[in-house]
Structures are given as C-alpha cells and as structure tokens.
Amino acid sequence: MSPKRILAYKNQRYTDGVKPATINRELATLKKAFNLARREWEWCTDNPVCRVSMERENNTRVRWLTGEEEMRLLPVAAPWLRELMLFAIHTGMRMGEILGLTWAGVDLFRRTVMVFKSKNGERRTIPLNQTALELLKHKYGSRSVETELVFPSDALTRLNASSISRSLNLALEKAKMTDFHFHDLRHTCATRMVQGGVDLYKVQRLLGHTPIMTQRYAHHYPESLRDGIEVLDVGRGVSTNLAQLRIVPQAESASC
C-alpha cells in the first residue's frame, strides 16, 4: 500500500458520488488499521495514510431540484432510475435505504415503509404520500418472486451506487444540468417540506436527521415559521389592544 494507491482510491470514491466526509471516515479507519498493524502486530514499519491529506468537508451544501429542473430531468432519465428518483423525492430516503428496501418493509394498507436499519442504526417508519404509494403499487403488481428487493436490477440483484451515478450523469447531460447528486434528492424532499410549512421537528423525524442536520433547512422559508409566532396574538383567546396598554403612542404625542 502506497500514498499513490490511496489517492487513486479517493478519486474512485468521488467518481462513485461519495462525499468528502465519508472519504475522511474511510481514511480514518484505514489509518487506524495500519497503526494497529505497525504498533502491535509489527506487520509493517510505516503508515502510508499519514502521508495522505484528508479531504476538505463542506457539509453545509444544500442542492435541491426546482420544479422546472425536475420536469427537465425525470423524463430523460432511464425508467428504472426515474422510479428511484421519484421515490427519493417523495420519501426523503437515503440511496442505501431505497436500494435495500424489501417488500417485508412495505405496508400498502397502512401506507408506510419501514427502514429496518438506518444510517444512524435506528429503525424508522416513513408514511407514504399518494405519489410514492402509487409507485409502489405499480412495482408490486410487476414484482418478481425471485427477489424481495423493491428496486432490483435487471438481474434481480441489488443496484450499486456506481451504476446509479453513471445513469444519473447521462440524464444530467441530456437535461443540461450540472452539480447534482442522487443524495440531493433527499435535500429536495426536506427543502420542499420546509417551504411547504412543515415544522423542522417533523422533517427531522421523517428523514431520520439529527437536530443539527435539520437546522440547515431553517433558512429556506422563514415564512413557514410565521404561524408558530402568530398563535401568541390570540393566546387564551384574548385580543390585546396595545394602545390601551400605552405601548403604542397616541397620535397627539407623535411629534415629541
């Protein structure tokens, strides 16, 4: 193992659509393994990861599809990719959660899907809107008995991130769009909910976010918070006259 090979690995991970933060975690794991091999097992005398720079993380990036961009992108995407993208937009699920979704986690009667193990290691139940529900009903009607996967490949195996990235890049080229990744569909879901007036706590619960992660969407639509503060105007059903409380100056004293 050499720094040159590690750099090639980093470049490949970027091609796969992986974020800098994920690459840094993988490098940290590799560094720890080399330290263990060097210090305790004496298998090597050098840790090449120490001579490779970590990636600069930019976790504040939030890119989402506008309605106009969605109308351009979805029609030119491959049909199987279009289904994935539409489902991601309307559920906010991560790529890995969608690719690993099985029919055992789908309840069409209750209109929910179950993520048995999320990125945070937690189980999460996601309600389905009409768009996502109709998509799953269509998938269920044409499903193969040879796989439990909801979104399998043509070979009925699990799709991989590289295939998705390649197909998405082709669609982006046709739609004349740049700077967009599959994970941005999750941002699209969160942003549209916030812009539609959904409070941040609900967004956090639906997407399985940490509170800090959800806060990045707070600035998208401040008007969606207005109804929260306006309930104070009618608290306990009492309408307060500010003039009577002498908080608002009378007209005759305005010149002082």
SS3 category, 107: strand
Predicted confidence band at 224 (pLDDT cuts at 50, 70, 90)? low
pLDDT value of residue 8: 85
Q: Please name every residue paired with 125 in a beta bridge, in sequence order, or none if there are none.
A: 114
Identity of the highest mean pLDDT range in 113-127, 130-144, 215-229, 241-255: 130-144
CB 100 within 8 A of CB 158: yes
Question: Which bin fits 156, alpha (ψ -120 to 50), beta or left (φ > 0)?
Answer: left
Token pair 């979104």 in the structure block, residue: 151
Q: Which two tokens stand for residue 242?
A: 């500010």
Q: Which CATH class is domain 67-222?
A: mainly alpha
Element (H, E) at 185: helix 184-195
| Separation of alpha carbons 169 and 242, rounded Å | 59
pLDDT value of residue 134: 95
Sign of the alpha-carbon torsion through 168, 170, 174, 179: positive
| Separation of alpha carbons 224 and 157, rounded Å | 42
SS3 category, 19: coil
Q: What are phi and psi of 155, to 5 degrees?
A: -85, 5
pLDDT value of residue 253: 46
Q: Which two tokens stand for residue 174?
A: 């046709």
| Separation of alpha carbons 250 and 243, rounded Å | 7
Quick check: 162 pLDDT over 70?
A: yes
Q: Per-residue pLDDT averaged across 225-237, rounded?
A: 61
The domain limits of the chain are 3-51, 67-222
Percentage of the chain with pLDDT > 90? 41
Question: Which bin fits 62, alpha (ψ -120 to 50), beta or left (φ > 0)?
Answer: beta
Quick check: 147 pLDDT over 60?
A: yes
Q: What are phi and psi of 178, to 5 degrees?
A: -135, 170
Q: Per-residue pLDDT averaged across 227-239, rounded?
A: 59
Predicted confidence band at 149 (pLDDT cuts at 50, 70, 90)? very high
